[in-house]
Structure 1
Amino acid sequence: MKILLLCAAIALSGCASFNRHSVLPPVTAKIPQSLKQACAGVVAIPERDLTEGEIARLWAKDRTSLLICARRHGALTKAASVLEGK
């Protein structure tokens, strides 16, 4: 019986070390610098009459720039929400 109690005491004392909780240091998340870039400005329009092709090209460049900025802003908003725990 004494041997059984001794074995139980040894087993339980060994379990105590497994029950300790280790706390890891917090990890600081960072928002990528690419998401923090300012949006590109509007396309400079020459002070002259433009051809239909030039108008279409400049309009497309503006729309593409706007789309890239909107996606980047969306990603930044999502990253901020995750960091804030929302």
Structure 2
Amino acid sequence: WQAKDGSKVTGTQVAVAPADKGAIPYQLVKANLAEGKGAMQGVSYIQRLATRGGVAPASDCTAQNKGARQVVMYQADYVFWTAN
């Protein structure tokens, strides 16, 4: 994740939980040390919640649909946790 102030953070997934049908799963990520000073500094965990959509289409990739574009709608809330 990268904030508008240029700070960024990566992480490693530590847990997932199923969400509603057709929605990507909830997720918990342990953050690595942030790069740069700003909003991402001190983030220890990131949670993905309230997911809607985001699941890949069920159709197969074939020669007949090569190059076809499919749009997958997706929405989620991300919570960035820091230690006090």
TM-score, reference length from structure 2: 0.24
Per chain length, whose mean CA-contact separation is higher, i.e. which structure has more relative contact order (CA < 8 Å, sep 6+)? 1
Structure (1 or 2) with the larger CA radius of gyration? 1
Between structures 1 and 2, the one with greater strand share: 2
Between structures 1 and 2, the one with greater helix share: 1
